[in-house]
Amino acid sequence: MLVRMNLARIVIVDTDEEKMSMIVLRESEGERAFPILIGIHEAYAIDRRTKGISVQRPLTHDLLERLIDRMDGQLEQIVINELRDSTFYAKLVIRRDGELIEVDSRPSDALALSAGTPIPIFVDDSVLKEVC
């Protein structure tokens, strides 16, 4: 079973002594929430996209968005589907010509791609049971 989630928080600590970032996903219709540690560059990309800040040249996530669009695809949803050895796994679910295509992705890249859009984020219930 998939559970709808929202991007609740982006935490970025970028000092000389410490560089750490994470996102927090919260259940849309419930109380469960959990953090995912991500790279600092991905955190900045997610933050920029949620705030609608554009950059002069396309970043990887912008490029991927344009590629999906140019191939007449539509990103339908993000699914965080597995937690293995403390590492989260995700997939992009893309619709193209009526067919659903699933593409493996790091959660941070998937979330950067969907940030600031109405594209739904889901987490497999088995993952939620492990982290909450």
- Chain segment 31-46, per-residue pLDDT in tens: 999 999 999 989 999 9
In the CATH scheme, what is the homologous superfamily, with its name and number, of domain 2-131?
Bifunctional nuclease domain (3.10.690.10)
Query: How many whole angstroms separate alpha carbon 16 and alpha carbon 45?
Result: 20
Reference 42, options 83, 6, 12, 78; nearest CA is 12
- Read off the pTM: 0.92
Owner of token pair 């949803």:
77
The CA radius of gyration of the chain, in Å to the nearest whole number, is: 15
Reference 25, options 90, 75, 93; nearest CA is 90
Q: What is the pLDDT of residue 18?
A: 81
Q: What is the pLDDT of residue 61?
A: 85
